[in-house]
Amino acid sequence: MTPTRELSAQVRTSIVSILTVVLFFSLGFRLYQIQIIESEKYQKTSEKNAIKEKIIEPYRGIFYDRNWKVLVDNQPGFTLRIIPYYFDTTVIPVLENYFKLKHGYIKYLLRANKNFSPFIPIRVQRGLSFEQISWLEENKENLPGVEYIIDMQRSYPFGIRGSHLFGYCKEISRKELEEKKDFYIMGDFVGHNGLEKYYEEYLRGIKGKQLVYVDSKGREVGPVNEGKNDIKPVSGYNAQLTIDGELQKLAEELLADRSGAIVALDPSNGEILTLVSKPDFDLSHFASLTPASVWKELNSDKNKPLFNRATSSIYPPGSCFKPINALAALNDGVIDEKYTYSCGGGFSFGNHFYKCMGSHGGLNVVHAIEKSCNTFFFNLILKNGFERWTKYGRMFGFGQRTGIDIYEETPGILPSVEYYDKIYGKGRWTKGYVVSLGVGQGELGVTPLQMAVYVSAIANGGTLYRPHAVRKLFNPEANPKEIIIPIEGKKLPIKQEAMELVRQGMFLVVNGAGTATHVRIPGINVAGKTGTAQNPHGKDHAWFIGFAPFENPKIAIAVIVENAGFGGAVAAPIAKQLIEFYLKDKTKNVQDLAANKN
């Protein structure tokens, strides 16, 4: 190699070495500048790189009564949540101690939600106080992944209970979540029973979404793209109920601390005017955090306040079922208006004597209803035959659900040949088993709601309507803006002359020499029927069914009071006051009227 070429190679090597040193020096200085000198600036920038999607809960639909009074509303409340991704488990003892949570509860929540995204917040406690919120604010720097939100909780501003009708919301179960995971996330509150559950799809609304930047500790820094990508929530549908709030309030007060139920309907369309089951419970306990002591008390109460007696409890209807026995015979020509049967104080069949409450002599069907003559109807069910009696009972909706717009309903028991064959064995029962059904006793079991639907059909001349508690759903933000709940009814194949004879008998129960003459209301013609349901476990239950005005019925009602004895003594006066209030005295003070209970 020549001296010149050797020098040139050395120069090139030197230049490369120098450039390499400069490059490494520059990179090192830049790293020093970024990590030491400008670390705070770049830390803040990097902390803004995480984006969190926030779910914005919609307002749940409001319940109005038929006169547009607010029955169920929303009020703001505070809820404690943790976000697993950012949550520091070392603060668990602090949270459980301050919020008085059961030891291990937060770990349980974390385990229960481990299969879900760690970015989905977990609700820990609802109904936080302002003192608790202040504590969270003061300590938020030391509580990573802990937050509180403002959410809407149910309130009941009108002052009625409506426990079994309105229902309540509770946290979604894992089973429900699996079935409906397209909409709900763990921790969501959903309708659990009553109208809240039946109309959940409409009441819940549509969730909104908000994108925000968060720092490394999960703290929100600001909106993404100035909120332009956010989706606003859509409120749930509001519901106008068919309930009359004032009538509901009075019904609850009249039944007071007794056990029983009241159901009143508009006989022209099946709208529920009032539905009360007692004992009941305070729905406000379920609006936020239900105290364990309250839940334990409700579940251990022997009177079962959580149970809906109006739709799910079955009782023998007693003499209130006699009109069906009469309709079956009249409509099929088994008897007519001129047919009479003599009552001598009871009815003999085989080696058994079935007592009547009186010795009425010869009676036709109208006066047999008026006097509530057991003897007449013991005989009549045998003339009708078991199959015909069952056919007409089913025609009026017994032995099947009414289709009311709440899910808590039982079909009751309507005995039939098949039913007796099943429980007694084919060929192992006789006509003697059927006799007591003629007066609404025996294995027959009905709900107060079924009785209200049945007496409504008599009131309107023979149309059986599906009872419903919601008239319409409406929301100006939604599509459609209004949903009218259809009126569903079927005309029963009952001859008008047969229906009028039964109606006349029920008119005389109140306005003749019947068992409910004390139900008369000046200026309003009331028709009805009393009943006493035999109770093998104690004192008999008291029934009254009725409707008014007789000429153009606006209200049909069924009242049962457990362990109250004769129906005319307790149940009928309650029905009288409700009918009078609804038709005539709605301007009176509810408390004054309730204080004048018979």
pLDDT digits (tens, 9 = 90+) for 247-294: 999 999 999 999 999 999 999 999 999 999 999 999 998 887 677 778
Supply φ then ψ for residue 490, to 5 degrees: -135, 135
The DSSP result for 35-58, as a single string, is IIISHHHHHHHHHTTEEEEEEEPP
Contact 593, 250 (CB under 8 A): yes
- Distance (Å, whole) CA 489 – CA 494: 15
Q: Which domains does the chain have, with CATH numbers?
A: 53-236 (3.90.1310.10), 245-281+307-595 (3.40.710.10)
If pLDDT is split at 50, 70 and 90, which confidence band does 510 have?
very high
Burial 207-233 (b: 16+ CB within 10 A, else e): beebbbbbbeebbebeebeeeeebeeb
- 38 pLDDT exceeds 70? no
Backbone angles phi, psi at 377, to 5 degrees: -85, -20
Residue pair 71/274 in contact by the 8 Å Cβ criterion: no
d(CA 438, CA 373): 11
Longest dimension (CA), the chain: 151
Which SS3 state, helix, strand or coil, does residue 404 take? coil
Q: Label residue 525 by pLDDT band (50, 70, 90).
A: very high
The band of 6, judged by pLDDT with boundaries at 50, 70 and 90, is low
The residue behind tokens 């937050």 is: 147
Confirm if 171 and 123 have CB atoms less than 8 A apart. Answer: yes
Predicted confidence (pLDDT) at residue 127 exceeds the cutoff of 60: yes
Task: Decide which of 108 and 271 is more confident.
Answer: 271
44-48, 138-142, 172-176, 579-583, range with the lowest pLDDT: 44-48
Assess contact for 354 and 371: CB atoms under 8 A. no
pLDDT in tens, 297-341: 888 889 999 999 999 999 999 999 999 999 999 999 999 999 999
Higher pLDDT, 524 or 113: 524
Q: How many CA atoms lie within 13 A of 392 on its CB side?
A: 27
Q: pLDDT tens for residues 543-579?
A: 999 999 999 999 999 999 999 887 678 999 999 999 9
Residue 307, classified by CB atoms within 10 Å of its CB into exposed (0-12), middle (13-18) or buried (19+), is middle
Percent of the chain with pLDDT over 70: 88
SS3 505: helix
Q: How far apart are CA 66 and CA 239, in angstroms?
A: 10
The pLDDT assigned to 8 comes to 62
Give dist(CA 395, CA 332) in Å, integer.
14
* pLDDT (average), residues 452-466: 98
3-state secondary structure at position 153:
strand
What was the pLDDT predicted at 227?
Answer: 78
Please report the pLDDT score of residue 193 as a whole number.
96
Give residues with Cβ within 8 angstroms of 93, minimum separation 6: none
Where does 17-115 show beta strands of DSSP type E?
A: 50-56, 63-64, 70-82
Name which residue leads in pLDDT, 43 or 173.
Answer: 173
Rounded Cα gap, residues 229 and 529, in angstroms: 65
Mean pLDDT, to the nearest integer, of 351-376?
95
- Residue 598: pLDDT band with limits 50, 70, 90: very low
512, pLDDT greater than 80: yes
Strand 470-474 to 238-241 pairing:
antiparallel
Contacts of 203 (CB under 8 A, 6+ apart): 60, 61, 191, 196, 236, 237, 239
Average pLDDT, the chain: 89
Query: Residue 32: its pLDDT value, please?
Result: 55
What confidence score (pLDDT) does residue 48 get?
46
